[in-house]
Each structure stands twice: as structure tokens, then as C-alpha cells.
């Protein structure tokens, strides 16, 4: 919320890591890293809508008659989390912000931040080289035969102004590109979005969003990842199962697992999702494949062995109490008893000169 208001603004800027470590990616000529497949499922906890843009229509994306979340949407979500958690460059620079050179988008395919190594990058200019990335994510297909969707009128921006104080980095108090935007979960909003006022009805977008409780399955393939990169990949997929945080001056206590946000209308509470890792397979090293007459065995983790492997691999991030990780937890915690109400300030709030310098409340 802006200071002195009782509602909460749907988003916050959270501080980025101080250090961005750049390295060459492992490429296919040198199989030093690990390769494998992660099988995942996804359940939506609030209404979910994936539909391109408003010219595209009001229906959820489908393929062969089945609802589908494109792998590119999942990849975008996981990449932006990897940029925050792992310390990545700003691929999409905000033109209104003068970025510190340390955070500029990677532009040398031999010296890449962790997100570009994992998810890919493209150099600019002539003779630009491309690193395709070491992770590929398939489309997520829906399990249910008869999806339950509901029509919503959504208004995606309050009034089109950009209130500078809302975009300041919390750790510096400046608009300096040292922070990234995340949306809170809104567990209250399982069935509704805020009403669109009559005078703004012409600007609303009509969408048919999936009701909570639908399930999707997808696979993440990785090749030649360093162990620190696999750790980061498993963290951004599985997140954390139990956190306890205290927000701001009012000391609001929230507790629960961390969950993802995906798709359209995030400021209105849509898109909260629970991703579960169901199975993890490390492929036998190619050297072993060639050297041995017997087929070397892949390593498969499921059930309790998977739980152990996931907690071991995520331990470093789960124990990380840096400002970046503390604020990430405050944004991504899913607490069903969270009773805060969320909305953007209205037009008259922004137009009131008294509010012109007012930032959001610190979390």
C-alpha cells in the first residue's frame, strides 16, 4: 500500500543481488555438466488466464482442443526468478532507468550471467553469436477433460500514470534499476476480481479464466548444467515449503509455502500456481555411455529419494537470508489466512499533490 492507506498495492520492487557473476556457458563439445529431465505438475490456486494479448480474444490458449500453457510462458517465469535468486543481468532494460553497468544485459556469449547461461542469450550487432541456453521447457497440457472457466472483466492499469516513488529500489531509495518488480499473492481472490467502475467499462478486457484446481503436466529438459546451475533450476521450480515472514511496520505475520505467479492479470490476484516436481532423472554421463559395453544407468529420483535430493540441492538458497531472498519470500509466500486487500490507488489519489512524493510502505 502507499503509506497511510489501508489497502496494499499489488506489487513491490525487491532488491537485486549485489554481485553478478559471469562465466562462459558449458557447450556441447565439452560434456562436463549434468543432463536430465524434470517432470513437473502445476495446479492453479487462483483463476488462471494465459491468452496472449487483448486483441487475441477472451479464451484460454488451446491446442487440439486442450488447454495449454506454452513452454515459453513457463520459461519466462522461471527465468525471471533465476535472475532474482541467482543474480542475473537485466535482459529487458527499463528505458526510464539508467542501469548500473554491472546489471546491463550480457552481450558477450563467452561471459554470461547465470540466467543467460541457463536460459540463453543473443549478442547484438553484426556477426552476433547466440547461446541457445541449456534448458528447454515443453508446453504444459491440462489433465482435466472439461475445464471450468468463468468470465471476468479485468482492468489492467488503473490510470496509465507511472508514480515514480513506487519504483524506487528499497535499499537505496532511488529509481536506479537495482530492484525488480514482483506481485503479491491474493489468496482472498479465488473467485472474483475487483469491480470495474462504470466509467472505465469501455477499457476493460473480457476474459474467460480457469477456475482454481486445474492441473497441468510439463517437462523441463536440461543439458550440460554445472551443479550450481542445477541447484538454481531446482530452487526456482520447487521453491520452499514453509516460510514465516513479518511485513512492514504493522508486523503482519504470514506463513506458508512459496508459490509461483503466472499468466495475465497478476495485479488482480490471478495466476497463483503450485508447481510440484514429480520426478528427476540425471542421464548417465555420455563418456560412460561410450566407454562401457553395458548401457550405463540413468539416476532416477522419485518419492522419498526425490524429497531428499530436492532438499539437499535447495539447501543453500533456503538458508540464504540476504535482503533479496528475504523480500522474495515476503512476496511469494502463500498464506490462506492472508486477509489484506489489494488495489491500485485511484486516479484522484495520484492527482492529489500531497501524494506526489509518497512511496509504498516498506516490507
3-state secondary structure of 294: coil
- Smallest distance from Zn ion to CB 124, Å: 13
Question: Is residue 47 within 8 Å of 152, Cβ to Cβ?
Answer: yes
Rounded to an integer, what distance in angstroms lies between the CA atom of residue 73 and that of residue 60?
Answer: 13
Question: Of 68 and 81, which CB lies nearer to Zn ion in the complex structure?
Answer: 81
355-359: long-range contacts, CB 8 A cutoff, minimum separation 24: 355/2, 357/165, 358/2, 358/3, 358/4, 358/165, 359/2, 359/3, 359/165, 359/166, 359/168
Question: Of 106 and 233, which CB lies nearer to Zn ion in the complex structure?
Answer: 106
- Smallest distance from Zn ion to CB 180, Å: 14
User: What residues contact 307, with CB distance under 8 A and at least 6 apart?
Assistant: none
User: What residues contact 230, with CB distance under 8 A and at least 6 apart?
Assistant: 34, 222, 313
Question: Is residue 166 within 8 Å of 1, Cβ to Cβ?
Answer: no
Of the candidates 104, 75, 72, the residue with the CA atom closest to the CA atom of residue 88: 104
- Smallest distance from Zn ion to CB 119, Å: 9
Rounded to an integer, what distance in angstroms lies between the CA atom of residue 122 and that of residue 133?
Answer: 10
Question: Of 69 and 109, which CB lies nearer to Zn ion in the complex structure?
Answer: 109
Rounded to an integer, what distance in angstroms lies between the CA atom of residue 91 and that of residue 265?
Answer: 22
- Smallest distance from Zn ion to CB 88, Å: 5
For the chain, first and last CA: distance in Å?
Answer: 10
Question: Of 89 and 210, which CB lies nearer to Zn ion in the complex structure?
Answer: 89
- Smallest distance from Zn ion to CB 21, Å: 10
Question: Of 33 and 267, which CB lies nearer to Zn ion in the complex structure?
Answer: 33
Question: Of 94 and 144, which CB lies nearer to Zn ion in the complex structure?
Answer: 94
- Smallest distance from Zn ion to CB 116, Å: 3
Question: Of 179 and 264, which CB lies nearer to Zn ion in the complex structure?
Answer: 179
Question: Of 87 and 256, which CB lies nearer to Zn ion in the complex structure?
Answer: 87
Rounded to an integer, what distance in angstroms lies between the CA atom of residue 318 and that of residue 307?
Answer: 14
User: What single-letter DSSP state applies at residue 164?
Assistant: G
- Smallest distance from Zn ion to CB 117, Å: 8
Helices (H), 110-157: 114-119
Q: Taken in order 257, 259, 265, 267, is the CA torsion positive or negative?
A: positive
Question: Of 113 and 245, which CB lies nearer to Zn ion in the complex structure?
Answer: 113
Interface contacts to Zn ion, rule CB under 5 A: 89, 106, 113, 116
Rounded to an integer, what distance in angstroms lies between the CA atom of residue 245 and that of residue 230?
Answer: 27
3-state secondary structure of 234: helix
- Smallest distance from Zn ion to CB 114, Å: 8
Question: Of 106 and 247, which CB lies nearer to Zn ion in the complex structure?
Answer: 106
- Smallest distance from Zn ion to CB 324, Å: 16
- Smallest distance from Zn ion to CB 49, Å: 29
Rounded to an integer, what distance in angstroms lies between the CA atom of residue 7 and that of residue 140?
Answer: 35
Strand partners, 112: 23
Amino acid at each position: 500500500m502507499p503509506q497511510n492507506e489501508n489497502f496494499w498495492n499489488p506489487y513491490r520492487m525487491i532488491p537485486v543481488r549485489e554481485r553478478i557473476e559471469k562465466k562462459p556457458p558449458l557447450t556441447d563439445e565439452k560434456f562436463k555438466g549434468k543432463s536430465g529431465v524434470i517432470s513437473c505438475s502445476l495446479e492453479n490456486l487462483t483463476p488462471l488466464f494465459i491468452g496472449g494479448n487483448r486483441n487475441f480474444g477472451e479464451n484460454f490458449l488451446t491446442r487440439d482442443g486442450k488447454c495449454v500453457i506454452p513452454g515459453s510462458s513457463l520459461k519466462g517465469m522461471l527465468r525471471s526468478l533465476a535472475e532474482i535468486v541467482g543474480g542475473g543481468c537485466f535482459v529487458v532494460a527499463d528505458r526510464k532507468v539508467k542501469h548500473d553497468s554491472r546489471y546491463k544485459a550480457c552481450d558477450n556469449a563467452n561471459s554470461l550471467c547465470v540466467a543467460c547461461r541457463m536460459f540463453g542469450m543473443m549478442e547484438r550487432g553484426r556477426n552476433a553469436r547466440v547461446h541457445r541456453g541449456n534448458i528447454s521447457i515443453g508446453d504444459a497440457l491440462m489433465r482435466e477433460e472439461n475445464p471450468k472457466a468463468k468470465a471476468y472483466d479485468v482492468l489492467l492499469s488503473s490510470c496509465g500514470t507511472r508514480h515514480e516513488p513506487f519504483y524506487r529500489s528499497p535499499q537505496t531509495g532511488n529509481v536506479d534499476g537495482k530492484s525488480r518488480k514482483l506481485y503479491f499473492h491474493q489468496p482472498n481472490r479465488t473467485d472474483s476480481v475487483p469491480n470495474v467502475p462504470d466509467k472505465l467499462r469501455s477499457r476493460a478486457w473480457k476474459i474467460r479464466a480457469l477456475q482454481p484446481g486445474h492441473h497441468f503436466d510439463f517437462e523441463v529438459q536440461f543439458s550440460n548444467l554445472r551443479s550450481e546451475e542445477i541447484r538454481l533450476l531446482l530452487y526456482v521450480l520447487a521453491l520452499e515449503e514453509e516460510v514465516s515472514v513479518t511485513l512492514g511496520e504493522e508486523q503482519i505475520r504470514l506463513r506458508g509455502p512459496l508459490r509461483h505467479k503466472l499468466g495475465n492479470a497478476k495485479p488482480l490476484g490471478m495466476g497463483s500456481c503450485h508447481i510440484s516436481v514429480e520426478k528427476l532423472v540425471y542421464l548417465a554421463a555420455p563418456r560412460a555411455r561410450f566407454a562401457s559395453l553395458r548401457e550405463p544407468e540413468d539416476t532416477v529420483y522419485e518419492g522419498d529419494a526425490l524429497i531428499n535430493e530436492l532438499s539437499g540441492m535447495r539447501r543453500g538458497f533456503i538458508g540464504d537470508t540476504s535482503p533479496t531472498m528475504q523480500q522474495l519470500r515476503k512476496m511469494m509466500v502463500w498464506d490462506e489466512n492472508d486477509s489484506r486487500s489489494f488495489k491500485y490507488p485511484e486516479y484522484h489519489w495520484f492527482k492529489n499533490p500531497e501524494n506526489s512524493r509518497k512511496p509504498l510502505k516498506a516490507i
